[in-house]
Amino acid sequence: MSTNTPPIYPTTPAPQPVSLAQAFWYWLKLGFISFGGPAGQIAIMHHDLVEKKRWISDQRFLHALNYCMVLPGPEAQQLATYIGWLMHRTWGGIVAGGLFVLPSFFILTGLAWIYMAYGSVPAVAGVLYGIKPAVVAIVMFAAYRIGLRTLKNRVLWSIAVLAFLAIFVFKLDFPLIIVSAGLIGYLGGKYFPLYFKVGGGHGPVAGSLGPALIDDHTPAPAHAVFSWASLWRVALTGLGLWLVAMGGLMVAYGWHGAYTQMGWFFTKAALLTFGGAYAVLPYVYQGAVEHYHWLTAPQMIDGLALGETTPGPLIMVVTFVGFVGGWVNEVFGAGATVASAFAAAGIVTFFTFLPSFVFILLGGPFIETTHGKLKFTAPLSAITAAVVGVIVNLAVFFAYHVMWPQGLDAGVEWVALLLALAAVLAIFRFKIGVIPVILVSGLLGMCLKLASI
């Protein structure tokens, strides 16, 4: 059968059209339940939108996901933006992507306030002590989940291993790794296409579930048809928003002001780091901790731990970074520490996510012209494989800082190691969810800390 032949479905009826108002309530719900980092959030969306609601087919979902994996920024939030845009035009994308972030923003800033105000309280410190080892296990599980979906043959496995060695051993920049993987995918798709096909031999899920609203062979809607006029309109709008925001900060606080530097740094983080949150975090750590000193290394890991306990994209840890940086710098004065912190959190979040919306609205129409074309999907498949290796590197990075907090010479933190092993066993062997593991780990840490007083 030709690969261009529309699939033959069972007698399952097609789903009814979905209005923007109906979609709004789903995206709002997703914003509150999207736990588990990128892997968990993508799994939730796949279950809801592909398998249950059938808003989009498996192949179209994976094609959009591969594009989002290539982009700098949080791939799960970008995927929600992409699907929202595809279904309901620009406002659909803004609603989907915005609601993916807003609940997490308010929850995380509240937790950050508790952390800064009461973090030295033994019970709170104990909870964070217990959660950190669980974070190591969660990052490992994220690499496993994405790898399970992506690494379907020895070629893709080799790309993942080479990416890990490139960043862990040779300290190569991630953009270089991404470009190299894309080039390998392009040449591989041309000369060895069998190894770079999207789907890895599992076949489209939608074929067993019935037709989707946006099916494998559904033509792109009118707003998703590529045009140069639309591309320039989106690009100029995005650039204009950035210039207004950055210009306002420069006028108010000067170039060297804390808020202005936060806007500039997190613009670079959004544009120059690829592979989603797990790949971005080492870059953010280097800048926020080592260069600008907005927070300490332990605070950075605490922020990641809090980020793992809240819904929304894991890159929301930058909101925590901004909050702590604003708290420390007291831009509004000593009597307005909390206000300074909340303002910094808002600034950091805005500059981190603005490019994500622009990339989706800018590139979506072009990507819609490429689904099913191997010469475009093969580089995306190779890049996704490389991202797996980078996530493994991040797991090693966090494991080192959690289990050897004082360095290798000081010896291993045995309690942290045992907690991490227990979390690995719970997640991998007994299939316990991320949230129960975090809650139990935090409770154990609190008990251990209180018992040592």
The DSSP call for residue 293 is -
**329 or 384: which leads in pLDDT:** 329
Most confidently predicted of 11-15, 59-63, 88-92, 209-213? 88-92
Which of left, alpha, beta for 36 (phi over 0: left; psi -120 to 50: alpha)?
left
The DSSP letter of residue 16 is P
Nearest residue to 384 via CA among 189, 160, 58, 136: 160
Direct distance between the N- and C-terminal alpha carbons of the chain, in angstroms, rounded to an integer:
70
Q: What are phi and psi of 283, to 5 degrees?
A: -65, -45
Predicted pLDDT at 37: 65
How confident is residue 352, by pLDDT bands cut at 50, 70 and 90?
very high
pLDDT digits (tens, 9 = 90+) for 106-155: 999 998 998 898 876 677 778 878 888 887 887 788 778 778 877 889 99
Residues of the chain above pLDDT 90, percent = 39
* 441: exposed, middle or buried (Cβ count in 10 Å: 0-12, 13-18, 19+): buried
pLDDT bin (cut points 50, 70, 90) of residue 451 is confident
Q: Using alpha carbons, select from 418, 417, 415, 422 the residue that is nearest to residue 437.
A: 422
Residue 12 has what pLDDT?
A: 67
Contact in structure between 352 and 315 (CB atoms under 8 Å) = yes
Read off the pLDDT of each residue in 253-262 and give the average, rounded to a whole number: 95
Question: In 3D, which of 10, 77, 17, 66 has the Cα closest to residue 182?
Answer: 66
- Tokens 């204009």 sit at which residue? 240
How far apart, in whole angstroms, are the C-alpha atoms of residue 221 and residue 87? 8
pLDDT at 93 over 80: yes
Residue pair 30/175 in contact (Cβ under 8 Å)? The answer is no
The residue with greater pLDDT, 363 or 379, is: 363
Span 192-250, pLDDT tens digits: 988 887 543 333 343 456 788 888 788 888 888 889 999 999 999 999 999 999 999 99
Which residue type does 208 have?
S
Confidence of residue 5 (pLDDT cuts 50, 70, 90): low
CA separation for the pair 199, 58 (Å, rounded): 9
Distance CA 422, CA 212 (A): 41
Residue 356: name the closest of 45, 41, 137, 73 by CA: 73
Mean pLDDT, rounded, for 94-104: 95
Q: Which two tokens stand for residue 400?
A: 């080192």
Rounded to whole angstroms, the maximal C-alpha distance in the chain is: 72
Amino acid at 172: L
Helix (H, G, I), strand (E, B) or coil at 413: coil
- Where is pLDDT greater, at 89 or 435? 89
**pLDDT at res. 222:** 87
385-408 tens-digit pLDDT: 887 887 788 788 778 878 888 878
CB 364 within 8 A of CB 82: yes
Tell which wins on pLDDT, 358 or 51: 358
Determine what percent of the chain is predicted with pLDDT higher than 70.
89
Give 319's pLDDT tier (boundaries 50, 70, 90): very high
Q: Is the dihedral of CA 113, 114, 119, 120 positive or negative?
A: positive
Residue-level pLDDT at 206:
38
Q: Residue 101: what pLDDT?
A: 94
